[in-house]
Amino acid sequence: MDLTPDQAALAVEHHDCPNCDAPAGSACRTRGGKTAAKYHTPRFVLVPALREELEIPVPADRHPAQEPTHLAPQPQRRPAPPGPDHRHDSAHPRRAAPGNTLANRRSPT
């Protein structure tokens, strides 16, 4: 039984993926959460007509290698504004303000 790529994708996506836990109706995911370029083997062998195939590519309309559109975007964290102890001159203690005694000391040789 030969299936078109779209029919194969629908048949594979009828099952949950045991490898990446992608739910039925969704393409497989990479470890980074993007859409995988191919369906995972443990998933497509669940379809008897596809057991002999070596790989099943994800159709282009499912946007392989992109973030899934159905997941909510993660809010980006903004760095906290500098507090009152924030040093503007330098973060290195030996290059601190001229009045710093550590900056004037030399290490013993």
Q: Is residue 16 part of a domain?
A: yes
The domain tally of the chain equals 1
Q: Residue 20: its pLDDT value, please? A: 93
Q: Is residue 54 part of a domain?
A: yes
Could you tell me the pTM of the whole model? 0.54
**Region at 98 (left for phi over 0; alpha for psi -120 to 50; beta for the rest):** alpha
Q: How far apart are CA 51 and CA 103, in angstroms?
A: 71
Q: Is residue 10 part of a domain?
A: yes
> What are phi and psi for residue 49, nearest 5 degrees?
-70, -15
Q: Residue 98: its pLDDT value, please? A: 60
Which has the higher per-residue pLDDT, 4 or 100?
A: 4
> What pLDDT digit, counting tens, does each position of 25-74 carry?
889 999 988 989 999 999 989 999 888 888 888 888 877 666 655 545 55
Nearest to 53 by CA among 91, 96, 11: 11
Q: Is residue 76 part of a domain?
A: no
Whole domain around residue 48: which residue ranges?
1-68
Q: Is residue 75 part of a domain?
A: no
